[in-house]
Structure 1
Amino acid sequence: MSLTALGFTLVFVAVALFISMWQKLGLEKDLFVGTIRSAVQLLAVGYVLHFVFRSDRPLVVIPILWIMIAVATWNAAKRGTGLRRVWLRIGISIFATEFVTMGLLLALGIIPLSAQYVIPISGMTIGNAMVVSSLFLNQMKREIASARGEVETLLSLGATPRQAIHDLLKRAAKSSMIPTIDGMKTVGIVQLPGMMTGMIVAGASPLEAVRYQILIMFAFASSAALTSILLSMLTYRLWFTKRHALDGNGAL
């Protein structure tokens, strides 16, 4: 794609700005900032990855993965405002998900130990884990608000915090996985995912693109399940006080 063609893509942003002003949505500032940030960030990443792929040294990949995990943790933690040290639980969950997923891919020989494969697939895995974390925390807040009386009743009857909140955790974990599962059901029919589309546009065989997309979708299913289950195990205590009373803010 030429720079001129790339510049013409701003037409799509202009359409969004026009609709926002027309309907008085108040999104003009966010759209402008998002456009600038996404362009700058992607260009910067492009130059960094160009250097990393050319050097192809595993030790260079590790800091990049840590940065990805840190940024994903910070972003997801914003959904857990009021929960003490929730960022630590999210970070552990995302790291464990990335470690297990990438470990299996490398151990089974599905992908080679190369920056060209590890970084893009890790980025998608970590990004999916971040979204699942955000959805889990949002749903848990709603569950706590709507089922507070139920949980307090169970606690008064002698249930442990884990027992009292178990059903809420299950519903939150299920809810956080729905987008991933729905995506698996409709992929290839309703949508052609980004990785597959990018490979086809770049000239790769559609069959080869499909194989990698299947890999990503299956890895997404695993990472979503791992992240949601780990978060439910690591965060349930945050919704209670030291005396095991339900605390809507999750502060210990």
Structure 2
Amino acid sequence: MSQLSVNNLSLALAFALVLVAVYISNREKLGLTKDIFYSISRAIVQLVIVGYILKYIFNVNNVILTAAMSFFIVLNAAYNAHKRNPNGHKSYFNSLLAIFVSTYVTMGVLVASGSIRFIPSQIVPISGMIASNSMVAIGLCYRNLNTLFKNQRQQVLEKLALGASMKQASLPLLHASIKTAMQPTIDSAKTVGLVSLPGMMSGLIFAGVDPVRAIKYQIMVTFMLLSATSLGSIIAGYRTYKDYYNEKLQLRIK
């Protein structure tokens, strides 16, 4: 199979598709033109920088550098998940703990089983894949939990007045938020192969790997992401709901 290549012409033609989005934004007065150009510029700069960093790390193949890059991804994912929490009394440690555990427990099982090796070309991409999906799930959990505490404030107060504990009063909201956080991953697992050919599978097929072998890797990724999003959203949810109460077990949100 001939090796695929992306030249300047193909990049220019692909950028023309971005201009289509800009044209639609201007025509329909959506006000997205600046955001589109900003996001594209930022993506290019970030990808170029990361590309050179990864090239160096892959060439050096050092365990400490590999672990440091993986942990940097986790720190950044936790920061972005933390920013998505609307609660004014949020804690960054909750996001960090949730993503740290979900990422390294899942990846630890993969390394221990021999599915992947502890080399930068495998650890760094897998870390990013797990941490990013966990980050999205945790962000959904945070936003839904905040909305439910606002909308169902009176019901929570009534349960507390009747003698319910903080956990008992919050449990229905917490369960609903965790379900919301996990739903996109579950829906994606239902349609994988029928509607979409996800990134890892498509990448392996592009590289010339036998489709049946590529499917095995994609099944592994599906299991991995379900594990990560469930662990991340459960840990984040069960730690974050307490931030909606003060030391006197009174709701902070109004």
Q: TM-score, normalised by structure 1?
A: 0.95
State whether residues 196 and 209 of structure 1, in contact with CA within 8 Å, keep that contact through their aligned partners in structure 2. Answer: yes
- Pair 1:154 & 2:159 matched: yes
When the two chains are superposed, the root-mean-square deviation of aligned CA atoms in Å is 1.3
1:21 aligns with 2:23: no
Aligned partner of 1:114 in structure 2 is 119
Counterpart of 1:105, as a letter, is L
Gapped regions of structure 2 (runs ≥ 5)? 1-5
The separation in 1 between residues aligned to 2:44 and 2:203, in whole angstroms, is 18
CA contact (8 A) 2:66 2:124 kept: yes
2:141–2:180: 8 Å Cα contact kept in structure 1? yes
Counterpart Cα distance in 1 of 2:208 and 2:55: 19
8 Å contact from structure 2 (residues 86, 143) kept in 1: no
Give, in whole Å, the separation in 2 of the partners of 1:3 and 1:91: 39
Question: Which runs of structure 2 are paired with 1:144-223 in the superposition (5 Å)?
Answer: 144-223=149-228
Q: Contact (CA 8 Å) 2:74, 2:127: kept in 1 or not?
A: no
Q: 1:105 aligns with which of 95, 98, 110?
A: 110
The 1-side partners of 2:49 and 2:169 are apart by 48
Matching residue's letter, 1:35: I
Residue identity matched to 2:55? H
Percent of aligned positions with the same letter in both sequences? Answer: 36
Aligned length: 249
Code of the residue aligned with 2:144 in structure 1: it is: Q
Which runs of at least 4 in structure 1 moved beyond 4 Å after TM superposition? none
Deviations 1:20-73, CA, capped at 9 Å, x for gaps: 111111011110000001111112111111111122211111221122112111
Deviation at 1:207, TM superposition (A): 2.0
Q: Per-residue deviation at 1:86?
A: 2.2
Q: CA separation in 1, counterparts of 2:117 and 2:247? A: 48
Contact kept in structure 1, 2:87 and 2:146, CA below 8 Å: no
**For residue 142 of structure 1, what is the aligned residue in structure 2?**
147
Structure 2 residue matching 1:105: 3-state secondary structure: helix
Contact 2:86–2:146, Cα closer than 8 Å, also in 1:
no
Alignment gaps of 5+ in structure 1: none
> In structure 2, which of residues 73, 81, 85 is the aligned counterpart of residue 76 of structure 1?
81
Report the equivalent of 2:243.
238
* 1: CA distance, partners of 2:174 / 2:209: 42
Q: Which amino acid aligns with 1:70?
A: L
Contact 1:80/1:86 (<8 A) preserved = no
Question: Shift in Å at residue 83 of structure 1?
Answer: 3.5
Going from structure 1 to structure 2, the CA distance change for 1:98 and 1:48 (only over 3 Å counts) comes to same
Cα deviation code 1:131-183 (max 9, x no counterpart): 01100011101111221111000000111111100110000000100000000
Please name the residue that 2:69 is paired with: 64
- Show the counterpart of 1:47: 52
Residue 7 of structure 2 aligns to which amino acid in structure 1?
S
